[in-house]
Structure 1
Amino acid sequence: MGNNRSVFSEDELQDYEDLTYLTRKEILLAWRRWTELVGSNVESDKITRYPEETIQELPELKNNPFKDRITRVFSSAQDSRISFEDFLDLLSVMSDKAPLHLKAHYAFHIFDYNEDRSLDEEDLQTVVEKLTGGDPGLLQKEKTKLVDRLLEETDLDGGGISEEEFKHLLTKCPDFVHSFRFSL
């Protein structure tokens, strides 16, 4: 393929810089990683959507217990198929420069498994199962107690944890911004 820069017009690069938290250099690096994932025959196609399994080969996703949800949430068509621009959105949100409120927004939607705009007991049980990998050392009783405690501490109105309540919770977790990221 040769020079990455020839794939993008100057206007496209500027638009991507304006619309993401990525630098020009990071965008070009993202393109290189993209073509490694989807194949070098991609040429200059930035809109073809690829199956989630292809994108989940990215080292940062490969062993992530939330990889299915991540690809679904970042899919602009909500079909778990990803285009280069969806990939850029993912990398932008996962960059060090993305603000807490944006990271929290996406984390909330990743954890909202039943997609009802609230983190309820069902969602939190799923999150705990994913995080523990079904560890038999943790009793179901302990997992339920953890979920109940989370709801008790965070759910102010009893209707499940809203996105605003979730964002408020994350303001108390200073490491969240640094752990919810990928490196280019």
Structure 2
Amino acid sequence: MGGSNSVFKEEELQDYEDLTYLTRKEILLAWRRWESLVGSEAKRDKAARFPEAAVQELPELKYNPFKSRITHVFSSRRDARMSFEDFLDLLSVMSSKAPLHLKAHYAFHIFDFNEDRTLDAEDLGEVVDRLTGGEEKLLPEERNKLVDRLLEETDLDGGGISEEEFKHLLTKCPDFIHSFRFCI
């Protein structure tokens, strides 16, 4: 571990441990994965920002239909680039130790494609398309019926699904916290 550990000052490691749900060992593993994704340029500057596409090559994201949204939401500047700290935030939220409310917050923003702070028919249509493979898998009327049903069952006030309604819904889905994660 000596070589990897020298990348960080003791205070940095302690700060990362304090600010994430990751252990020191996981942070050091995250750094090695970060280096493998973005290359040797990472060694020169830990604050450097790299294209989201590099992070999307992470095996846990590579075939995820929401990978572009995931990296977008975790990009602190929303500039299609990520820093090591953005990557750590992603890994922290996806860790098994992150609480349901935090996972739900990020899941909501990942599914809020039009970024209007509600999940509406447009957002849910995009979710359905990504989960089913798009128009090749569902006929438009099937897709619309499914979206309408989702809204009918979860939108309590008729204004689209708010983050609070979404979080409430997820409290009824015990598997969510176990499926919205991956290991370092």
Structure 1 unmatched ranges of 5 or more? none
Aligned length: 184
> Do 1:112 and 1:118's aligned partners in 2 also have CA atoms closer than 8 Å?
yes
Quote the residue 1:43 is aligned against: 43
Shift of residue 145 of structure 1? Answer: 1.2
Shift of residue 80 of structure 1? Answer: 2.1
Q: Give the Cα separation in 1 of the matches to 2:59 and 2:121.
A: 30
**Alignment deviations for residues 133-183 of structure 1 (CA, whole Å, 9 cap, x no partner):** 126342222211111111111111111000000000101111111111111
Shift of residue 42 of structure 1? Answer: 2.0
Alignment of 1:1-184 (within 5 A): 3-134=3-134, 136-184=136-184
AA of the residue aligned to 2:104: A
| Alpha carbons of structure 1 residues 39 and 137: separation in structure 2 relative to 1, 3 Å | closer
Moved more, 40-49 or 109-118: 40-49
SS in 2 for 1:119: coil
**Alignment deviations for residues 58-86 of structure 1 (CA, whole Å, 9 cap, x no partner):** 11111111111111100000112100000
TM-score normalised per structure 2: 0.96
Q: Give the Cα separation in 1 of the matches to 2:114 and 2:139.
A: 24
AA of the residue aligned to 1:139: L
> Do 1:7 and 1:44's aligned partners in 2 also have CA atoms closer than 8 Å?
no
AA of the residue aligned to 1:174: P
SS in 2 for 1:157: coil
Q: Give the Cα separation in 1 of the matches to 2:12 and 2:91.
A: 17
Moved more, 113-122 or 143-152: 143-152
CA RMSD of aligned residues (A): 1.4
AA of the residue aligned to 1:173: C
Q: Give the Cα separation in 2 of the matches to 1:97 and 1:62.
A: 23
AA of the residue aligned to 1:138: L
AA of the residue aligned to 1:23: T
SS in 2 for 1:118: coil
SS in 2 for 1:48: coil
Q: Give the Cα separation in 1 of the matches to 2:60 and 2:9.
A: 29
Q: Give the Cα separation in 1 of the matches to 2:153 and 2:40.
A: 49
- The 4+ residue runs of structure 1 with deviation greater than 6 A are none
**Alignment deviations for residues 101-159 of structure 1 (CA, whole Å, 9 cap, x no partner):** 00000000000000000000000000000001126342222211111111111111111
Moved more, 48-57 or 109-118: 48-57
